[in-house]
Amino acid sequence: MAFDYDLDFEKIDFRKNPELYRVGRGEQGVLLVEPYKSEILQHWRFKNPEIAEESSEKIYQMFLDYKDEEDFVGMDMARKFLQMGYTRSRRYTNYKGGKKYDENGKVNERQIDPVKAESAAIFMEKWKLAREDKDYLKRKKDHQKKYG
């Protein structure tokens, strides 16, 4: 089931109401679902490999902590932040300043930044660990079966 953007995200605490959470595709809802957004976003950085390493380690540890707490929504949100660390790092790898399009809507020329590419690889490693975690996959399937 698709992510439900019609919910009142300013009022919903998804830790208390996990039945309202929909996994959606990819990174959908990553900057909307509280209290997880506020808990994880403060640690999300990818400026260089050192910062990306520290950030991805912290967010992956949060994934494991949510797992220990049997909090699927937290696990999924941490997974989404790891994925977003990879995708945003890749955007900055390919396009100076992360700007894919110019003011006329045309795609800018790619300029590979090896530092950002390394940051992306660091996030990819942790994202892969999270998305392939057997317990995560079981909980995801159960959550989707139960709530859509």
Residue-wise pLDDT tens digits, 87-136: 999 999 999 888 999 999 999 989 889 999 999 999 999 999 999 999 99
Rounded average pLDDT over 9-27: 95
| 2 is a domain residue | no
Q: What is the pLDDT of residue 34?
A: 97
pTM assigned to the model = 0.92
Burial class from Cβ neighbours inside 10 Å (0-12, 13-18, 19+) for residue 130 reads buried
Give percent of the chain above pLDDT 70.
99
Contact between 18 and 73 under an 8 Å Cβ cutoff? The reply is yes
Rounded average pLDDT over 5-19: 94
Give percent of the chain above pLDDT 90.
87
| 41 is a domain residue | yes
Domain count, the chain: 1
| 12 is a domain residue | no
| 26 is a domain residue | yes
Domain with 26 in it: 18-99+108-147
Q: What are 41-44's contacts with CB under 8 Å, separation 24+?
A: 41/81, 44/81, 44/84, 44/85
What is the pLDDT confidence band of residue 3, given thresholds at 50, 70 and 90? confident
Contact between 91 and 100 under an 8 Å Cβ cutoff? The reply is yes
| 80 is a domain residue | yes
Q: What is the pLDDT of residue 1?
A: 62
| 69 is a domain residue | yes
| 87 is a domain residue | yes
Contact between 127 and 79 under an 8 Å Cβ cutoff? The reply is yes
Give Cβ neighbours of residue 98 (< 8 Å, ≥ 6 apart): 88, 91, 92
| 127 is a domain residue | yes
